[in-house]
Structure 1
Amino acid sequence: MKLVFLMSSLILAASTVVTDSPNEEPDDLSSYKTESVLSEKAHLETLLFHNPDAEPIAIEDIHVLELEEEVCYGFDTSKYLPSNFNPLKGKHDLDWSKIDLVELDEEVNLGFDTKDYLPKGFNPYKGMYKHARCNK
């Protein structure tokens, strides 16, 4: 795990040095030191991804730490909430089968008449309800 962290840090550092160089791009690419950068990148990738001495890491060995940060508002929130307040009360009590969802149709005003830009006799629903016929 330390090797993976070290190699990824080195690759990040190497790519940062390459991309954030203040030098302007030269007209002649032969004077640019791309070969040394590419060889260093290839060396780091070989160490990171093709190291035969490194043992594979089991997924059970990876531990994720979740840090819980305390939020400080600078005042006591309990003074402004009802007594016995529970923010999670009723969270899972909704019965979605009893709730009617209503979609409101909103009129869209584009600011111009769309009929002026469509062919004569245009029907957007033409052919929508044709059913395939089966020959027996």
Structure 2
Amino acid sequence: MIGIVREEIDVAAVLEAAKRPEIGALVTFLGTVRDDGIERMDLEAYEEVAVQEFAAIREEAIEKWPITSVDILHRVGSLAVGENILLIVVGAGHRKEAFDACEYVLERIKESVPIWKKEVREDGETWVPGEYPEGPA
């Protein structure tokens, strides 16, 4: 399962769907909006390209490690502190490969997927540099 979503990510449902008899490890990364003085975070994406990039990153990870599955869901919209932004679930026979692949997927998403974060504070708004490619023009 890969995609850009607007609704809350149902982590339990994604984990349940990822279970298979041959999988001995499900490693997850769940990114959330942290409270560092912001009121909210607005996320935008070039959705068609983002989903294509997710699929390419999933294939890269499957080629590099003996893993069974990679699920990637990323939210867009206006999110409050504590809400989930990104869920990555990697399934493998063993934990080491799943951990390594999950970290790889996260770093590749940050490098190449056209998703942008804007922090909204009482005193203004700022695109988050360095997290993803430059904010929208």
Larger radius of gyration: 1
Which TM-score band (shorter chain)? Answer: under 0.3
Q: Which has the higher contact order (CA 8 A, sep 6+)?
A: 2
Q: Which has the higher strand share?
A: 2
**TM-score, normalised by the number of residues in structure 2:** 0.24
Normalised to the residue count of structure 1, the TM-score between the two structures is: 0.24
